[in-house]
Structure 1
């Protein structure tokens, strides 16, 4: 099973934003994805990072994956299948439409210091916008 680390970042709230996706294949191979997102809030960037990572995995046929995020918002929304702020409902629906295509999907919250690669990729993406 691969490990997929995700992070979204914004310079301002809203402001220029980016998504970072770090995939560890656990065989010595890793992938880095740094995706500019335009102007949005940090929470929107976190959701976009999740959706982008899910799309990358599905495009590659990687349907058994363990995702890691340092966003409690994302972790809680996926675990509870619920968002308090209805503004994020479309993001949650997009995410689950992809998650349902996985054979095995896990999402785990990790502290920021364990998500440094994805964070750096998200910040790099902001500079590309």
Structure 2
């Protein structure tokens, strides 16, 4: 018998500065209303929709690795959620392999639900902040790399 505690709540976000532009993904895991994990990463130059898919992919892979069998995944990307649920076709050649990876990962779980929520949801907003922190850190690193050695602080 499945208990409610076995169901992991996953909140994902992807962000790109420019479309395409520098992009990042992030997720937050919750159980019983408490944050139990989070992660994010830099993607390089890509579109916002691709970043949203990468967030879902990284979250599902991490949830499976952590032993999760059932999840509810929340995203503010209605396009990605509707494509995953089969309500919209995946027309973009760039998104097709990402969707295939989501399908492959879905097979590893006993049950999973995908739900679109507003970007104002507190945990979606937190995932968005994580994406922006990653993008800000990358931008700082890029600027520091461009400073001539004679002008860098020692």
Bin the TM-score by the shorter chain. Answer: over 0.9
Tell me if the contact between 1:32 and 1:121 (Cα under 8 Å) persists in the aligned partners.
no
Q: Which runs of 5+ in 1 are unaligned?
A: none
CA distance in 1, matches of 2:71, 2:44: 28
Q: TM-score, normalised by structure 2?
A: 0.78
CA deviation string 1:71-93 (max 9, x = no partner): 01111111117312232110100
Secondary structure at the counterpart of residue 112 of structure 1: coil
Within 2, Cα distance between the matches of 1:123 and 1:35? 10
Answer 1 or 2: higher relative contact order, Cα 8 Å, separation at least 6. 1
For 2:35 and 2:25, the matched residues in 1 are separated by 20
Coordinate RMSD, CA, aligned: 1.4
Superposition misfits of 4+ residues, deviation over 6 angstroms:
none
Q: What CA distance in whole angstroms lies between the structure 1 residues aligned with 2:15 and 2:30? A: 21
Instruction: Kindly state the Cα deviation for residue 128 of structure 1 after the two structures are TM-superposed.
Output: 3.3
Q: Verify: 1:85 aligned to 2:92, yes or no.
A: yes
- Cα distance between partner residues in 2 of 1:77 and 1:6: 15
1: CA distance between counterparts of 2:79 and 2:131? 17
Q: Is residue 8–residue 71 contact of structure 2 (8 Å, CA) maintained in 1? A: yes
Q: How does 1:58-73 map to 2 (within 5 A)?
A: 58-73=64-79
1:6 partnered with 2:12:
yes
5+ residue gaps, structure 2, are 1-6, 139-154
1:121 maps to 2:130:
yes
The TM-score normalised by the length of structure 1 is 0.92
Q: What secondary structure is seen at the aligned counterpart in 2 of 1:49?
A: helix
* 1:31-110 superposed matches below 5 A: 31-80=37-86, 82-110=89-117
